[in-house]
Structure 1
Amino acid sequence: MTPLPPARPLVIGHRGASGYRPEHTASAYELAFALGADAVEPDVVLSLDGVPVVRHENEISGTTDVSTRGEFASRRTTKSVDGEALSGWFTEDFTWAELGTLKARERLPAIRPSSASFDDRFGILRLSDVLKIVDDCASEQGVARSAVVELKHATYFDSIGLPLGEIVAAELADAGWSERPEQLVVESFEKTVLAGLAAAGLPARYVFLLEASGAPFDEIARSGAKARDYAAFLTDDGLAALAAEVDGISLDTALIVPRDLTGAAHAPSDVVHRAHAAGLDVFTWTLRAENRFLPRNYRIGHDKAAHGQWEQYFRSVLESGVDGVFADQPDLAVAARSAVGGAA
């Protein structure tokens, strides 16, 4: 496995600069790098013809104009994805040629009306498009930049005959990224797909994503009611076992700085220290400045869309010793990092 670069900690533009532009658009990714992000995170799902498409979910009614497109009205359906019934329009029911005609929309328009003002201006992207943006921005800035590629719903896509891991590995190889492990992180909430890519020899840093509750779907698909929950991976024994399989873990911020029953956050937990002791790097998601996302004791007023005491909260997360943070507003994460003595 390839070691991570020296701790900065890294600032990763979460779906680009998704606090300012509709997520996963060229504008969001380019802005993230302009605001100082070290890396960006494309979430990858698949089209009907096996093209790696960059969307947070394979159900796309909330982030595109698909629901307004009369020619696609008959594609609306209900499916079970990772055990959850979802209704809408799904990437795997469209060819890339069809998806490429859609326009992106802000996922949280009530919270981010400024971003929503950019609705329908930008098309959606393929993974290959994002990798090119990373390279172009790195060339313009004269500084190496990285991609943190998240594989979404791998077990589900495998079940419908679209092997997500294999398809993404081929795409990375075609783009020349399989020879750049120092710039490539591959992450997933499903450890099975990470293990498969590592066994196939894809040079990358592998990161296992963990929720604050629940269990990974690949575990549920394999073991049903006996599936290990996320908490089992965060015991000392669980962390030691993970260190033999992946390079790092990426945790919900609630696991780094826990919240009490009132929604207030106080002292960091010991999970970063224990993970480091096991030999794992630790990332966390997601730093967001709006009151809606902040712990209760870091909010200012009652407007959910207004920015609260984001710098104090961001600093409390950074001071836990994490190796990287995902941020919707990368410039604010960079500012907080500077305030705690990290790289500028």
Structure 2
Amino acid sequence: MNIRSGELGEWPWSRPGLVVAHRGASGYLPEHTLEAYSMAYGLGADMLEPDLVLTADDVAICMHDVHLERVTDVAQRFPGRARTDGRFYAADFTLDEIRELSATGGDRHRFRGCSVPTFQEFLALVAHLNERTGREVGIVPELKAPDFHRREKRPLEEVYVQALREAGYDEPGALCITQSFEPDALVRVRDAGIRSTMLELLGGEAPDRSQLAEIAKRAEAIGPSKTMIEATKGQLVREAHELRLAVIPYTFKEDEDETRRFFQDHDVDALFSDFPDVALRARS
């Protein structure tokens, strides 16, 4: 099924089976680095996914968690800066301090030399590559832990909206899908005037049809886990499509047969993959 929604125009749902590079080509290189995004672009991904959190000086950086220690050397560089829970929070470090860190990739990779990019640097990279190649590769930013940021008095949505406006991603049909597990964050972004696609990520139990209908009032797509789709034996996808919601499951790895099954048997509109080259082979 190819989703068509009047306000959204033809893109991106005119392209069947979109491959979203999950945290860049994170199966190969440290996640959320310019190197991983560049590799994903070169492998042919349709869209690139940056997760976003704010620093102490309210700069959006590409990072999966509000904590830094899993994928950087922050504990070695700033050993006395953990909170009482033992975690190192991005919100406690300025951008200048973040730039001192090495993005090692955590347990999955042990690289040196990669750094933590800002959202603006990510946007500039995508714009540059699109201009040089003539391709139209989109972005799928995720607002991480909006409620945490609000408790910390960090204006995550406001910073994000301003960045989208400056980069030209605020209009219908823009090559941008905004995603979050917290629906109120999507509503705030939409209320701020961003007209690009909204993707509500799903956790826990699969929503029933009435819950999907409520989601359809505030979003154009859902992001269930692949296990959620399999547990509902395709009913979730069918009901979502009947309500004109695109379905974009997460997260696919190196299993090409599994990825192909979701494209062909489950009729998903896109999917998140750590290995975009594998997903592209499965799609073909």
Q: Residue 256 of structure 1 contacts residue 317 of structure 1 at CA under 8 Å; is this kept in 2?
A: no
- 1:179 Cα deviation from its structure 2 partner: 4.1
Q: How does 1:51-62 map to 2 (within 5 A)?
A: 51-62=59-70
Q: How does 1:253-272 map to 2 (within 5 A)?
A: 253-258=226-231, 268-272=233-237
Alignment-derived partner of residue 147 in structure 1: 139
Matched to 1:104, the amino acid is: A
Q: RMSD over aligned Cα, in angstroms?
A: 1.5
Alignment-derived partner of residue 313 in structure 1: 258
Q: Residue 169 of structure 1 contacts residue 202 of structure 1 at CA under 8 Å; is this kept in 2?
A: yes
Give the unaligned 5+ runs of structure 2.
1-6
Greater strand content: 1
Give the unaligned 5+ runs of structure 1.
80-86, 110-114, 214-229, 259-266, 290-309, 339-344
Return the alpha-carbon distance in structure 1 between the equivalents of residues 116 and 173 of structure 2.
Answer: 26
Q: Residue 225 of structure 2 contacts residue 251 of structure 2 at CA under 8 Å; is this kept in 1?
A: yes
Return the alpha-carbon distance in structure 1 between the equivalents of residues 174 and 46 of structure 2.
Answer: 12
**Runs of 4+ more than 3 Å apart:** none
Matched to 2:168, the amino acid is: G
Return the alpha-carbon distance in structure 2 between the equivalents of residues 172 and 270 of structure 1.
Answer: 35
Matched to 1:275, the amino acid is: A
Matched to 2:263, the amino acid is: L
Does the alignment pair 1:35 with 2:27?
A: no
- 1:22 Cα deviation from its structure 2 partner: 0.3
Return the alpha-carbon distance in structure 1 between the equivalents of residues 152 and 66 of structure 2.
Answer: 13
Q: Deviations over 1:291-343 (max 9, x none)?
A: xxxxxxxxxxxxxxxxxxx12111111121111111000000000000xxxxx
Q: Residue 169 of structure 2 contacts residue 196 of structure 2 at CA under 8 Å; is this kept in 1?
A: no
Return the alpha-carbon distance in structure 1 between the equivalents of residues 217 and 87 of structure 2.
Answer: 39
- 1:5 Cα deviation from its structure 2 partner: 2.6
Q: Residue 13 of structure 2 contacts residue 269 of structure 2 at CA under 8 Å; is this kept in 1?
A: no
Alignment-derived partner of residue 66 in structure 1: 74
Question: TM-score under structure 1 normalisation?
Answer: 0.77
In the alignment of these two chains, the number of paired residues is 275
Does the alignment pair 1:283 with 2:229?
A: no
2:193 to 177, 197, 201: 201
- 1:134 Cα deviation from its structure 2 partner: 1.1
Return the alpha-carbon distance in structure 2 between the equivalents of residues 311 and 268 of structure 1.
Answer: 20
- 1:197 Cα deviation from its structure 2 partner: 1.0
Matched to 1:248, the amino acid is: A
- Greater relative CO, 1 or 2 (CA 8 Å, sep 6+): 2
Secondary structure of the equivalent of 1:156? helix
Return the alpha-carbon distance in structure 2 between the equivalents of residues 179 and 270 of structure 1.
Answer: 32
Return the alpha-carbon distance in structure 2 between the equivalents of residues 37 and 209 of structure 1.
Answer: 20
